[in-house]
Each structure stands twice: as structure tokens, then as C-alpha cells.
Amino acid sequence: MAKEGKLFRIAGPVVVAKEISARMYDVVKVGHEQLMGEVIQIVGDKTVIQVYEDTTGIKPGEPVINTGNPLSVELGPGMLTSIYDGIQRPLPVLVNKMGDFIKRGVDAPGLNEENKWDFKANVKAGDKVNGGDVIGEVKEASITHKIMVPPKVSGKIKSIKSGKFTVNEVVGKLDNGHELKLKQIWPVRAPRPVRKKLAPTIPLITGQRIFDILFPLAKGGVAAIPGPFGAGKTVSQQQLAKWCDAEIIVYIGCGERGNEMTEVLTEFPELQDPKTGKPLMDRTVLIANTSNMPVAAREASIYTGITIAEYYRDMGYNVALMADSTSRWAEAMREISSRLEEMPGEEGYPAYLATKLAEFYERAGRVNPLGVDEIGSVSVIGAVSPPGGDFSEPVTQNTLRVTKTFWALDAKLAQRRHFPSINWLTSYSLYLETLRPWYKENVSDTWADNVSKMMVILQEEEKLMEIVQLVGSDALPDKQQVTLEVARLIREFILQQNAFHEVDTFCEPKKSAAMVESVLKFADLAEEALNKGVRIVQILEIKSKNKIADAKYTNDYIKHLEKVNKEVQDEFAKLKV
């Protein structure tokens, strides 16, 4: 029987209880309204609790009851298409209960308990099963939802039956008495176990040229996408959600402004999944915790999202998790830390900020799940919102220490209408080397060499631009003028992409490679012509090179680029020395 304690001290979302026997991270019910909270510190006979709801009006002496369980989520059919708050309460259900503003002390199960699912068992009585083994399947939205034995559970199947069941009904029993249901419950702060972690050797194809060519992300990898207000974080993340080749999307709106989250909540259900033609929401789980929602629930929302992602990974699916933004999550930790009167670290953030960020990102990975033959992965893309676009602040810097891909958004590029506004000089990917064999086999033999050539040209352009601003481009030597022209073609034809154009919104890697080949072919021909003594003015006046850009807007790019390459060669052949 849970022992009842009493409230002793209250400081915003952090309260102290006495006379309660609890373990770290136990969930407790606080006050007469039974507000949900979590034990975060135990000092002698006093238990410090962070409450996931507004604590206005509660007072010392009110009861505190320990549930004895850690903060957990319900995992099972019905999560796809759902919109949750930070502690997995379905927002549409809460709206029906109390209108647009969430009142305190209200609870709702994470999964619909009335919906019946058509369960097809694929094991029989007498079969031995272990944690992670698939016992049957359910059709959920656009995917096959595999019903698995919970981790750490094993035994022989005593009985199992197919049919229509709710998530709470028993579908089978083990010889040790364990009941098997369509749902399982898992504590959010504990990573789900796997058989083996694998090397990140396959890219997450995004269809965005600057990501796929220059700064690729591996499946099971981690990327940070920091940028100031208005640089295009949300559109970039929506493009990634829409086009990346992951079967499941988990989108966490963590502490964003209400109007931004409204945009996501209204736009996502309208977005069409290009693979199936159905709504994108059919394979998406949305977690919304806006900046006016309780701060403690914001801290939990990240863990709720990654646990749901791991669950689908365990079925053998590739999952992409978008966290927008980890800065607001860090701010929530800072606020709670200050209420606990902990020693502050840099800029007031808690001293354990780096550890918490690392723990979160480490849960990404490409793995052999426990009981499934397929390979599953969780790729994490964390948006960071540094104040004033200052990348030297602690959240960005600590994120960079644990992520291997850095997509730096640049407000100046956004002002020049260059989208996606990823700064190619400050961004990087540490997956290039491990992904090289895949690109060589599946895209182009010259992929890695071409990427290196492009980066050299773009870096050279940056150095030359300082001189150009002083004396103009005409004063540069001929070879450097060619470098500037080739850099312009790379920037405008390859790195710029129109998210709202029906063809250009997605660019497959082979198309990207063909466009890069065409631009670099022009660069080689220009250098050759210069060596023969052709004047730079004639080279810069070649018109057919500008037709390379039209490949962006056509599906039949092979024929188009072959024609353009021939025209460019013919024009060079006609140049007179």
C-alpha cells in the first residue's frame, strides 16, 4: 500500500514532500487535485518532486501519494496519427474534456482503450518466446504494427488467439503467468535494449541536395540544425519529415511558441505523403509542448518522443525523430535546476547539461533489435535555437560535441532568399567517410571526389570575395574569375532548392550527382580553354551553362543534362584564341 506523505514546501513546479517513502524518478500524485509529478531528489526524509502541471493554489499540508512506478508511456497500436502533450496525454481527448486550455489534474490514457484492433497471431501454444519476439501483427494506419513480447520477459506460450481486441485485453498467456496484451508500458528515461548496435554505413536520404551531397546524415545518426529566428528551421524540418526515407516520423515541438506549433499541427495533417499519396500524419506521431505549458512536462517530452521512436525501431523500422528545439528543453532544465538551488554552470545552465544532451542523442542508432531479423534505426535531428544566433552558447557547443552532422542555418542567406539557408562553410558531416562505399556503389564512382572539388571551390570563393568587394571581380586573374563563376553555378543551381516546387522539392541522389558532374565539367572545359589562351570574357559569356539549372525542374534530367553538356562542349569548341 502506497504511503501518503504531506507537502512541506512549494517553489513553482518544484515541491518538497515529507513522510513519503519513494525512489528516484517515481511518479507521485500531488495535492487534493492529484497533480502528476516525478521524484528528482531525495534529501534525508524530504523528497523533492517536479510537478508536470501548474502548481498555483496548492499549499503545504496537502497529501502526496507515491504510485511506486517511474514515468512511463503506453506503447501499442494507435500512436500513429496521434498528437500528444509532453507526458503522452492525447491533446484531442483533453480538448473534448475541457476545451482549449488544459486544466489541472486531468489524466487520459496514451492509447485509445475502446478501439478494437484486428490481431493476427503468428505463434502457437508451446512456442518459446523471449523479449522482443513478435507474437502477431496489427494493421495500423499505413504500416504493419508488430506486437512484441516486452523486453526482459520470456517463457513458453500457454495460450494465444487471433481476433479483434482492445489494447487492454489479454491476447495470450505465458506458462509463467505473464499476460500478453497489444500494448506494453516502458519507463521513458530507460533506453530500450537491443541485440547489437551497427555502424552507420547507410545514408538517410532526404531529397535535399545540400544535405545529401555535402553534409549527409547516416541512418541511426544524429544531426544538429541550429539557427536564429526566421532562418528556416521549421520548413527545413518539415521537408526532412516529408521526404526522408524513414518509415516513421516522430516530431517533438518542445517549448516552441504557440503560433509556431499551431502551424505544425495544422500543416502536418494537410501534408501528403509522397510515397503513399495518403496524409503524412498516417506515419507520424506529434508531441506538442508549447512555451506556455508546464515547464517540467517540457523536460519529459524529449524522453517521451525518443521512447516511442525506439519502440518502432524495435519492429525493424527506420524512424526519424525531429526535436524542435533542444534549446527550450535545456531552458526547462535550467529553470528546474535554479528552483532546486543547484550550483549553476555556464550561463546558468545546470552543470549536467552536457551529460543530459549526450544521454538523449546516444539513444539514436542503427541496430539489430531483440527479436526481429530486420535492421531498425532511430535518426535524431535536433533543432537548436541559440539566442541571437550565437553558436558559441552552451547548448549549441555541447550539442556539437555529441552530434556528427552540423547543419548551420544562416540568417544572412535567408535574407538573400537562398533556401535552404544552410551555411556551407560552417556546416560539416563526419559521416562522409563511412558513407563513401554506399555512394560509390549506389550513386556514382566519382561522388567523393566531386564533393571534395566543390568544397574547395566554395572555400576559394569565400577568400576571393574579400578582394572582390575592394577592387571588383574584373581585377582578379582569369583563373580566379573562372572559380567565382563555377562557385556561383554551384550555389544557385545545386545548393539552392525550392521546397514549394512540385519537382524541385525532392531531388534523388543520382540527379544531384548528375547536376554536380555537369557543373564540374564546365569548370574543366573553362580551365582547358584558359590554358589554350582563350579570353576570360568569352568563357563567361557561354550561355548554355545556365541551362544546367533547368534540370532542377524536370523529371527527365538525364536527357536534359546530356543535351546541355553537348551544347556547352560545342560552344567551347567554337571559341577563338
* Amino acid at residue number 182: L
pLDDT at residue 1 greater than cutoff 60: no
User: In whole angstroms, what is the distance from residue 320 CA to residue 332 CA?
Assistant: 24
Note the pTM of the prediction, 2 decimals: 0.93
User: What is the arithmetic mean of pLDDT over 344-348?
Assistant: 91
Could you read off the pLDDT of 352-380 as tens digits, one per residue? Answer: 999 999 999 999 999 999 988 899 999 99
User: What is the arithmetic mean of pLDDT over 37-59?
Assistant: 91
Ranges assigned E (strand) in 177-327: 179-181, 184-187, 196-198, 222-226, 248-254, 284-289, 318-324
User: What is the arithmetic mean of pLDDT over 428-456?
Assistant: 95
Could you read off the pLDDT of 50-64 as tens digits, one per residue? Answer: 998 888 899 999 999
pLDDT at residue 158 greater than cutoff 80: yes
Categorise residue 180: left if φ over 0, alpha if ψ from -120 to 50, beta otherwise.
beta
User: In whole angstroms, what is the distance from residue 14 CA to residue 3 CA?
Assistant: 20
Q: Which residues of 285-306 are buried (b: 16+ CB within 10 A; e: fewer)?
A: bbbbbbbebbbbbbbbbbbbbb
DSSP tag of 272:
B
Confidence grade of residue 3 (pLDDT, cut at 50, 70, 90): low
Could you read off the pLDDT of 519-559 as tens digits, one per residue? Answer: 999 999 999 999 999 999 999 999 999 999 999 999 999 99
DSSP tag of 250:
E
For the chain, give the mean pLDDT. 91
Could you read off the pLDDT of 111-139 as tens digits, one per residue? Answer: 999 999 999 999 999 999 999 999 999 99
Helix (H) or strand (E) holding 559: helix 557-574
SS3 103: coil
Contacts of 438 (CB under 8 A, 6+ apart): 201, 202, 203
Contacts of 321 (CB under 8 A, 6+ apart): 249, 250, 251, 252, 305, 306, 309, 364, 378, 379, 380, 381
> Domains along the chain?
4-72 (2.40.30.20), 113-182 (2.40.50.100), 198-430 (3.40.50.300), 447-574 (1.10.1140.10)
Q: Are 421 and 232 in contact (CB under 8 A)?
A: yes
User: What is the arithmetic mean of pLDDT over 293-317?
Assistant: 91
User: What is the arithmetic mean of pLDDT over 291-317?
Assistant: 90
What residues does 5 pair with on adjacent strands?
64
**Looking at residue 460, what is its pLDDT?**
95
The grid coordinates of residue 508 equal 534523388
Could you read off the pLDDT of 57-107 as tens digits, one per residue? Answer: 999 999 999 999 999 999 999 999 899 988 898 988 888 877 766 777 778
Sign of dihedral through CA atoms 180, 185, 186, 187? negative
CA 441 to chain centre: 27
pLDDT at residue 251 greater than cutoff 70: yes
CA-wise closest residue to 321 among 235, 249, 385:
249
Preceding omega of 420 cis (within 30 degrees of 0)? yes
The rounded radius of gyration (Å) of the Cα atoms in the chain is 27
User: What is the arithmetic mean of pLDDT over 476-498?
Assistant: 95
Q: Are 11 and 339 in contact (CB under 8 A)?
A: yes
DSSP tag of 146:
E
**Looking at residue 370, what is its pLDDT?**
92
pLDDT at residue 247 greater than cutoff 60: yes
Contacts of 189 (CB under 8 A, 6+ apart): 25, 70, 71, 303
SS3 415: helix
User: In whole angstroms, what is the distance from residue 550 CA to residue 564 CA?
Assistant: 10
Write the CA distances from 443 to 357, 401, 433, 496, integer angstroms.
Answer: 34, 30, 15, 21
User: What is the arithmetic mean of pLDDT over 237-256?
Assistant: 88
Q: Any idea what the Cα angle at residue 138 is, between residues 135 and 139, rounded to 5°?
A: 150
CA-wise closest residue to 315 among 461, 436, 569, 144:
144
SS3 461: helix
Angle between helices 509-532 and 478-489 (to 10 degrees): 160
User: What is the arithmetic mean of pLDDT over 420-444?
Assistant: 95
Q: Which of 212-226, 246-260, 315-329, 375-389 shows the lowest per-residue confidence on average (mean pLDDT)?
A: 246-260
